[in-house]
Structure 1
């Protein structure tokens, strides 16, 4: 049977930590708690479950805190847990069975991360795989009987274990503040992090968040060589930011470049619909909302090719006095939402 260190980084988690650790203590052989500056009862609660509690000065870097937590672990495998997660009873049994049967060559175990859409997280799917269990010490071995080479890619196992994400609030404001601090320090966002920033804006961003992000994405498009997907993601953010700031020339410039792509982004069509609706042109808005819903593909948030434009189509037809068409799109919107649940 393998042994497991559960590694958590926490800050002011008194409302959810006991709920999490009640589950974690049943699957882990040791629990590592790294506190990044709690001012509530977080460490007191943690002390009921473990004496391996460490302070870590927060430096706006989750990776640094995660790495520190890993450095304190001593078991064979490292389980990455967050305080707002729970493991339900059946999944605890599945986890324990995994500990008994895991082949030693497995270096990463993926588990289903569930309930992601309830609080507008940065993912478009309510249930998808995430790496959650890592072998602490990796063994390097040669493979192939001829022209031998060291295997560099980790051996990954996709388990059936489900971890439920159950936060009490949305983390987006914290994330947007962190993005801005990284940018202010002059540090580059990786392609992955920039994509996550754009995605989170379209899933949970307020108007002010788009305005704050505008300069960064503008400079990125201007001075960075981007692939088509990355470019289109940036265009979506820039279109929203330009529209909100009434920069009409920049707005249409970025929208036209996106429309010229082989596959137009639903978010861009939605933004064009918003522009015309705000200017009192419901008929032109209908054209673009229709394209968002039926003729394009979402780049960052699936709702922009679904219930969002369908709802706007209903509102436009209602404003034009066409209640029959309005009802049709209300029904389509409700059907789409039902299918997504």
Structure 2
């Protein structure tokens, strides 16, 4: 069984050699697709492999990865990023897995770790991700009668950990792509809609939120979107209206959301609204709701450290020092302004 390591890169001179070094003794081929580097990335890649290809960047990671996969020739493709590291222990695990991989496995998932370090869309530090793919998948007929083609993908969950070590966040790059493809009248898939909203709450600044407003506001008035999508849009629209000082728009989005089980993100925005008006008692009510009576739609911290820290600040300003210290302790290292 042979393996291609496959990367798409752009301006990765600081980390590329570190990533490719991890493949020594593990893969039979290294394919690097450069999407427009202006630094020494291509020369570094050529020091490891002669299979370095140029690809014109079109703000589409899927298209670039499909092109990169088309250049691979081995039985399996290991899809890597330049900011990943496989440490010695997990290199040994991967080598053992490759030596004993069952013939019917189509995809191997691995633990993707260290996601919250400079991450932009992650609430959790570790999750399973598909990393190893059979390049050509044979199809076979199954069932003795009413036969059909077996289309089920055989997935193996391994204990191998891939460490994500980016040099910086890539959220500005992501938001530029989101703004291009997310326009009123052009709905994103439910998965991508959630990821856009999630990335805004985890790493977006005021410019990023306001750049997203027209799209998420459109989804609130257009029919056909599911309940989860609508609640995500309510969170984004409420935050955008708060940033724009549009109280009417804020309450229009927020009041629909808080009927029943409110979203923690909307509750935090309502707390921020009253905090800015120096109504700390009302602000505390909404921060408490976010922490103890709401559900997180997009950001885990919206139901934990963030409202707890802001709740502590409200009690401090109201003169209740004991309560302020209690919630400050519960919030941990997080503080307003982060």
What does 1:40-189 align with in structure 2 at a 5 Å threshold?
A: 40-183=39-182, 188-189=187-188
Structure 1 length as normaliser, TM-score?
0.95
Query: CA–CA distance in 1 between the matches of 2:189 and 2:26?
Result: 34
Unpaired segments ≥5 residues, structure 2: none
Task: Name the counterpart of 1:237.
Answer: 236
Cα 1:55–1:104, aligned 2, differ >3 Å: closer, same or farther? same
Superposed CA deviations along residues 29-62 of structure 1, whole A, max 9, x for unmatched, are: 1010000000100011001110000000001100
The DSSP-based 3-state class of the residue aligned with 1:315 is helix
**Secondary structure of 2:8 counterpart:** strand
What is aligned with 1:7? 6
1:31-46 equivalence runs, <5 A: 31-46=30-45
Distance in 2 separating the partners of 1:102 and 1:296: 44
Assess if the C-alpha contact under 8 Å between 2:219 and 2:230 holds in 1. no
CA distance in 1, matches of 2:214, 2:148: 46
Corresponding residue number in structure 2 for 1:333:
331
Runs of 4+ in 1 over 3 A off after TM superposition: 183-188
**Equivalent in the alignment of 1:311:** 309
Superposition TM-score, scaled by structure 2 size? 0.96
Give the Cα–Cα distance (whole angstroms) in 1 for the partners of residues 120 and 77 of structure 2.
Answer: 24
CA deviations 1:272-321 (Å, max 9, x no partner) are 10000011100000000000001111000100110000000111111111
Deviation at 1:188, TM superposition (A): 4.1
Counterpart contact for 1:37–1:56, Cα < 8 Å: yes
String of CA shifts for 1:54-81, please: whole Å, max 9, x gaps. Answer: 0000011001100000000000111110
SS at the partner of 2:130? strand
Residue in structure 1 matched with residue 282 of structure 2 by the alignment: 284
Q: Which moved more, 1:221-230 or 1:65-74?
A: 221-230
Cα 1:265–1:156 shift into 2, 3 Å: same
Partner of 2:249: 250
Equivalents in 1 of 2:24, 2:229: separation in Å?
41
Q: How much has 1:147 moved relative to structure 2? A: 2.4
Q: Distance in 2 between matches of 1:127 and 1:184?
A: 32
Is residue 30–residue 75 contact of structure 1 (8 Å, CA) maintained in 2?
yes
CA contact (8 A) 1:25 1:31 kept: no
Q: CA deviation at 1:25?
A: 3.2
The Cα RMSD (Å) is 1.5
Deviation at 1:248, TM superposition (A): 1.1
Residue 265 of structure 1 corresponds to 263
- Once the two structures are TM-superposed, the CA of residue 254 in structure 1 deviates from its matched residue by 0.9
Relative to 1, partners in 2 of residues 1:305 and 1:62: Cα closer, same or farther, differing over 3 Å? same
Query: Matched residue of 1:226: which SS?
Result: coil
Aligned length: 334
Q: Which residue of 2 aligns with 1:27?
A: 26
Asked whether the equivalents of residues 4 and 76 of structure 1 are also in contact (C-alpha less than 8 Å), the reply is yes
Following superposition, the deviation at residue 24 of structure 1 comes to: 2.2
Residues in 2 aligned to 1:71 and 1:224: alpha-carbon distance in whole angstroms:
39
Instruction: Say if 2:5 and 2:80, in contact at 8 Å, map to a contact too.
Output: yes
- 1:25–1:49 Cα contact (<8 Å) kept: no
Give the unaligned 5+ runs of structure 1: none
Deviations 1:93-137, CA, capped at 9 Å, x for gaps = 010111111111110110000000111321211001001111111
